[in-house]
Amino acid sequence: MAEKILEIRNLTAGFLSDKGLAKATDRVHLELEKGKTLCVVGESGSGKSVTALSIMRLLDYAGGVIADGEVLFNGQNLVSKQQKEMLKIRGNQITMIFQDPMSALNPVFTVGEQIAETLRIHKNLPEKEAWRQSVDMLRKVKIPDPEIRAKQYPYEMSGGMCQRVVIAMALACNPELLIADEPTTALDVTVQAQILELLLQLKREFRMSMLLITHDMGVAAEVADRIAVMYAGAVVEEGTVAEIFERPRHPYTIGLLQSIPGLEGDRGGELYTIKGTIPKIDQIPTGCRFHPRCPYAMDICRQNEPPLRESNTGHKAACWLDDTGEDDPRPGKPNTRETKVTIMSRPEVAQS
């Protein structure tokens, strides 16, 4: 059995209000093997970033709380650690790349100084050696003229360059786990591809594990070993890239895949969209949280929340229509449209 670097067990976290705890994540369970990449996908508001902030124990500073559950990193429960203990782990063994590189960098310090500061704090390096290694890290992330760029300020660089600097800072201490929260959202398509390629290359070079958060299924397909689909604070499906893209078992996953524009079809035709909007964290519906938007919803979906059931291959889904918990037994590799027809033809839907 592969060794796990990260285990999230029944994580419930959110924000306190006059009505109590508004749950941004509800009993989330995720696992990441050493050296692998887990992609967490879903719409904005699905709980992806709160999960990441909970791992880093940064949710405390964002006004949130971890109400229940465990976050095990190499067997250590990070939830039970004091913030003073987390200072030794955060930025050293676990690092994070945030969505907006410009806001992640301090505008009044040069980029070289910001990387060097990380090395001085966590590796206790002298000033000259920390500066040398910061320049070397800029070279590793393929920034041209790193000796010159190290002396520049963030405002003197493009968004793509700043993202490379943030990556250099995150990897300076050779972390075991890298969390990347929408690392390409603010970049144009060409630069997105370059950053993703760079992340994969550095992941192999540094032999680290990666948790990548994205709303882009195409990005997940490029970099993931496994994909976890989140909706309204809960994991609704998890599996390998092949399982998620070729044999999706949850209607939300199918909707996400059908929302990807294809090369076939009439030009100017209407794009597929999932009707409705994701619920607010203090207005989660009873039963299956996706049922108000689900075209296949039955009475049981509105009354009881489906469990996250696992097939013999490790493919998990939380849907009452997924009655067997097994992958599609048909030969070949059905696409999402075929899968949708299969779901709609099941007896439960016909009876509803």
Instruction: Read off the pLDDT of residues 267-289 as tens digits, 9 standing for 90 and up.
Output: 666 778 899 999 999 999 999 99
Q: Are residues 202 and 310 in the same domain?
A: no
For the chain, the C-alpha Rg in angstroms (whole number) is 22
Work out the angle at residue 316's Cα, subtended by the Cα atoms of residues 44 and 228, and round it to the nearest 5 degrees. Answer: 30
Does 195 share its domain with 105?
yes
pLDDT at residue number 74: 95
Look at strands 94-97 and 309-310 and give their pairing: unpaired
CB 29 within 8 A of CB 59: no
Regions of the chain where pLDDT drops below 70: 1, 263-269, 323-352
Q: Rounded to an integer, what distance in angstroms lies between the CA atom of residue 197 and that of residue 219?
A: 11
Same domain, 191 and 258: no
In terms of domains, do 132 and 88 share one?
yes
Number of domains within the chain:
2
In angstroms, the CA 129 to CA 20 distance is 50
Asked whether residue 187 is domain-assigned, the answer is: yes
Q: How far apart are CA 174 and CA 92, in angstroms?
A: 7
Determine the pLDDT at residue 336.
38
The pLDDT value given to residue 272: 84
Residues 197 and 65 in one domain: yes
Is the model's pTM score more than 0.85? yes
E-strand spans in 170-222? 177-181, 209-214
**Side chain identity at 212, as an amino acid letter?**
L
For residue 183, the model assigns a pLDDT of 87
SS3 of residue 68 by DSSP: strand
Which domain covers residue 331, as residue numbers? Answer: 251-351
pLDDT tens across 101-120, in order?
A: 888 899 999 999 999 999 99
Last residue in a domain, options 224, 241, 268: 224
35 and 110 fall within a common domain: yes
Clarify whether residues 45 and 183 are in a common domain. yes
In this structure, the answer to whether residues 171 and 269 fall within a common structural domain is no
Q: How far is CA 15 from CA 21, 22, 95, 279, 288, in A?
A: 6, 5, 24, 15, 22
80 and 130 belong to one structural domain: yes
Residue 304 lies in a domain: yes
Class of residue 150 by CB neighbours under 10 A (exposed 0-12, middle 13-18, buried 19+): buried
Do 14 and 148 lie in a common domain?
yes
d(C-alpha 71, C-alpha 218), whole Å: 28
CA angle 115, 116, 119 (to 5 degrees): 95
